Each structure stands twice: as structure tokens, then as C-alpha cells.
Amino acid sequence: MNTSTPWIAVVDDDDAIRRALLRLMRAAGISARAYAGGAEFLAALDGGHPCCVVLDVHMPGLSGLEVQAMLAAQAPEVGVILITGHQTPAEQARALLHQPLAYLNKPVNDQLLLDAIATACGAATASATGGLRP
């Protein structure tokens, strides 16, 4: 696995959403890898860290909020963008404890997501890809 090029992790249990997010990122010239769940993503971190993770809040097994808390403790340099289809005030308050870069509702606004990714990985991604192209 090449860890020299900045990359984004997309973690969502919904296959259609994972595919759509990967297409968006590839169209923007952003290297991305997809994972169907939190445990799969965390296991893959042995091969290197992404500069940012787009993380679904509601997933079976480890929830996105549980993965976010683990990242805050173990890999605080990884930016977290949370996405949810079922936002509640209590959930949002819990998510904000670990300071995500963004907390977005599904369907996700493409430009808001790309802007959050640029905030997280802009300098690293721009230098590796010749410029982030949202």
C-alpha cells in the first residue's frame, strides 16, 4: 500500500453511498479507499493513515461515533468528517466532543464535503496531486 500519497478513507456500510462518494472523490482527483465498516477501516490503519476519513455515523458493529472516539485517542492527526442520514441533537452533541471537521447530513452536499476534505488534507493533497480539484 502506497502511503506516500495523501488519501481519504470512506467508511459507510451502504454500498451505494460508498460508491457515490468514491466517484465524487475520483472525479475531483482525490485518492480514496472505501471500507464497509469501522472495524474494517481500523484494521487497515496498520498500512498507514489517511489524511481524512469520511465516516458514517450509523453503522452496525462499531458506530461512526465509536470510530471517531478511537481516532481521537489513537490517531488525532486524522481529520474526521461525519455524515448521517438520521441526525439527532444528542448525537450531534456527542459527535462534537471530538471536534469533527464537519458534520454533514445525507444526502451530502458535494461541495461542502470537498471543502471539508480540502481543509483536512488540502496542503498534503495539493502537493501530491498538483492541486486539489474540487
User: How many independent structural domains does the chain possess?
Assistant: 1
* C-alpha span between 97 and 94 (Å, rounded): 5
The answer, yes or no, to whether residue 123 has pLDDT greater than 70, is: no
Residue 100 domain-assigned (yes or no): yes
> What's this model's pTM, rounded to 2 decimal places?
0.87
Give the CATH number for residue 117.
Answer: 3.40.50.2300
User: Residue 86 belongs to what domain range?
Assistant: 8-126
Residue 133 domain-assigned (yes or no): no
The answer, yes or no, to whether residue 56 has pLDDT greater than 60, is: yes
Average pLDDT over residues 73-80: 93
Burial of 32 (0-12, 13-18, 19+ CB in 10 A): buried
Residue 3 domain-assigned (yes or no): no
Instruction: Tell me what pLDDT residue 4 has.
Output: 61
Q: How confident is the model at residue 23 (pLDDT cuts 50, 70, 90)?
A: very high
Instruction: Tell me what pLDDT residue 134 has.
Output: 36
Average pLDDT over residues 62-89: 94
Residue 56 domain-assigned (yes or no): yes
